[in-house]
Amino acid sequence: MNLEKVVFGFFIVLAATMNFGFFIGDIDNPVHHHVFELFVTIVVNLIATVLKFGDRTQIGAIHLATSLVADLQLIAAAIYWAYSVHVSGVGMTPGVTASVVSLAAGAMLANVVSVVILIAETVMMRR
Protein backbone atom coordinates (compact mmCIF):
# COMPACT_ATOMS: atom_id res chain seq x y z
CA MET A 1 0.00 0.00 0.00
CA ASN A 2 1.15 3.44 -0.85
CA LEU A 3 -0.13 6.52 0.91
CA GLU A 4 0.27 8.60 -2.22
CA LYS A 5 -2.02 6.24 -4.13
CA VAL A 6 -4.56 6.34 -1.33
CA VAL A 7 -4.68 10.13 -1.34
CA PHE A 8 -4.81 10.24 -5.11
CA GLY A 9 -7.66 7.72 -5.34
CA PHE A 10 -9.48 9.35 -2.46
CA PHE A 11 -9.62 12.75 -4.08
CA ILE A 12 -10.62 11.46 -7.48
CA VAL A 13 -13.42 9.33 -6.13
CA LEU A 14 -14.51 12.05 -3.70
CA ALA A 15 -14.67 14.55 -6.56
CA ALA A 16 -16.98 12.23 -8.46
CA THR A 17 -19.19 11.41 -5.46
CA MET A 18 -19.59 15.03 -4.34
CA ASN A 19 -20.40 15.98 -7.88
CA PHE A 20 -23.02 13.27 -8.00
CA GLY A 21 -24.45 14.42 -4.69
CA PHE A 22 -24.91 17.91 -6.02
CA PHE A 23 -26.35 16.69 -9.29
CA ILE A 24 -28.96 14.29 -7.93
CA GLY A 25 -32.52 15.64 -7.50
CA ASP A 26 -35.03 17.45 -9.70
CA ILE A 27 -33.09 19.41 -12.23
CA ASP A 28 -35.04 22.67 -11.80
CA ASN A 29 -35.71 22.55 -8.06
CA PRO A 30 -33.22 24.75 -6.17
CA VAL A 31 -34.02 23.03 -2.90
CA HIS A 32 -32.48 19.79 -4.18
CA HIS A 33 -29.15 21.43 -5.01
CA HIS A 34 -27.29 22.97 -2.12
CA VAL A 35 -24.61 25.63 -2.64
CA PHE A 36 -22.31 24.00 -0.06
CA GLU A 37 -22.22 20.84 -2.08
CA LEU A 38 -21.17 22.76 -5.16
CA PHE A 39 -18.47 24.53 -3.13
CA VAL A 40 -17.00 21.31 -1.78
CA THR A 41 -17.16 19.74 -5.25
CA ILE A 42 -15.14 22.62 -6.70
CA VAL A 43 -12.52 22.51 -3.95
CA VAL A 44 -12.11 18.74 -4.17
CA ASN A 45 -11.90 18.94 -7.95
CA LEU A 46 -9.20 21.62 -7.80
CA ILE A 47 -7.15 19.54 -5.39
CA ALA A 48 -7.58 16.46 -7.60
CA THR A 49 -6.35 18.52 -10.56
CA VAL A 50 -3.22 19.68 -8.76
CA LEU A 51 -2.51 16.11 -7.65
CA LYS A 52 -2.45 15.10 -11.30
CA PHE A 53 0.13 17.75 -12.23
CA GLY A 54 3.50 16.64 -13.49
CA ASP A 55 2.72 13.12 -14.62
CA ARG A 56 4.28 12.65 -18.04
CA THR A 57 2.59 9.40 -19.06
CA GLN A 58 -0.22 9.18 -21.57
CA ILE A 59 -2.67 8.11 -18.86
CA GLY A 60 -1.49 10.99 -16.68
CA ALA A 61 -2.22 13.40 -19.50
CA ILE A 62 -5.80 12.09 -19.94
CA HIS A 63 -6.29 12.22 -16.18
CA LEU A 64 -5.27 15.85 -16.11
CA ALA A 65 -7.44 16.65 -19.11
CA THR A 66 -10.59 15.18 -17.55
CA SER A 67 -9.96 17.10 -14.35
CA LEU A 68 -9.48 20.34 -16.26
CA VAL A 69 -12.78 19.75 -18.05
CA ALA A 70 -14.56 19.13 -14.75
CA ASP A 71 -13.02 22.29 -13.23
CA LEU A 72 -14.08 24.35 -16.20
CA GLN A 73 -17.68 23.13 -16.02
CA LEU A 74 -17.99 23.52 -12.27
CA ILE A 75 -16.47 26.99 -12.22
CA ALA A 76 -18.80 27.99 -15.03
CA ALA A 77 -21.73 26.70 -12.95
CA ALA A 78 -20.53 28.65 -9.89
CA ILE A 79 -20.04 31.85 -11.88
CA TYR A 80 -23.48 31.52 -13.42
CA TRP A 81 -25.00 30.95 -9.98
CA ALA A 82 -23.24 33.99 -8.47
CA TYR A 83 -24.21 36.11 -11.48
CA SER A 84 -27.88 35.17 -11.26
CA VAL A 85 -28.12 35.79 -7.53
CA HIS A 86 -25.88 38.86 -7.08
CA VAL A 87 -25.54 40.64 -10.41
CA SER A 88 -28.73 40.20 -12.40
CA GLY A 89 -30.81 39.57 -9.28
CA VAL A 90 -33.21 37.03 -10.83
CA GLY A 91 -32.33 34.54 -8.08
CA MET A 92 -32.52 30.75 -8.33
CA THR A 93 -35.41 30.37 -10.74
CA PRO A 94 -36.07 26.88 -12.14
CA GLY A 95 -34.34 27.92 -15.42
CA VAL A 96 -31.15 29.07 -13.66
CA THR A 97 -31.12 25.98 -11.47
CA ALA A 98 -31.46 23.74 -14.51
CA SER A 99 -28.51 25.46 -16.22
CA VAL A 100 -26.31 25.20 -13.15
CA VAL A 101 -27.17 21.57 -12.59
CA SER A 102 -26.64 20.60 -16.21
CA LEU A 103 -23.20 22.24 -16.14
CA ALA A 104 -22.43 20.24 -13.03
CA ALA A 105 -23.75 17.12 -14.78
CA GLY A 106 -21.19 17.66 -17.55
CA ALA A 107 -18.49 17.92 -14.92
CA MET A 108 -19.74 14.70 -13.41
CA LEU A 109 -19.32 12.91 -16.72
CA ALA A 110 -15.67 14.05 -16.80
CA ASN A 111 -15.25 12.87 -13.23
CA VAL A 112 -16.72 9.48 -14.10
CA VAL A 113 -14.20 9.18 -16.96
CA SER A 114 -11.49 10.03 -14.46
CA VAL A 115 -12.66 7.28 -12.12
CA VAL A 116 -12.84 4.79 -15.00
CA ILE A 117 -9.25 5.62 -15.97
CA LEU A 118 -8.20 5.20 -12.36
CA ILE A 119 -9.78 1.76 -12.26
CA ALA A 120 -8.32 0.78 -15.64
CA GLU A 121 -4.87 1.86 -14.48
CA THR A 122 -5.20 -0.16 -11.31
CA VAL A 123 -6.36 -3.24 -13.18
CA MET A 124 -3.45 -2.86 -15.62
CA MET A 125 -0.96 -2.82 -12.77
CA ARG A 126 -2.36 -5.98 -11.12
CA ARG A 127 -0.36 -5.51 -8.01
* 51 interacts with other proteins by CB under 8 A: yes
CB–CB of 72/45 below 8 Å?
no
Q: Candidates 25-33, 65-73, 77-85, 103-111: pick the segment binding other proteins (CB under 8 A).
A: 77-85
* 8 interacts with other proteins by CB under 8 A: no
* 39 interacts with other proteins by CB under 8 A: yes
* 104 interacts with other proteins by CB under 8 A: no
The span from the CA of 36 to the CA of 103, in Å, is 16
Q: Candidates 16-24, 30-38, 93-101, 103-111: pick the segment binding other proteins (CB under 8 A).
A: 30-38
Give CA separation, 34 vs 8, 28, 48, 53, in Å: 26, 12, 21, 30
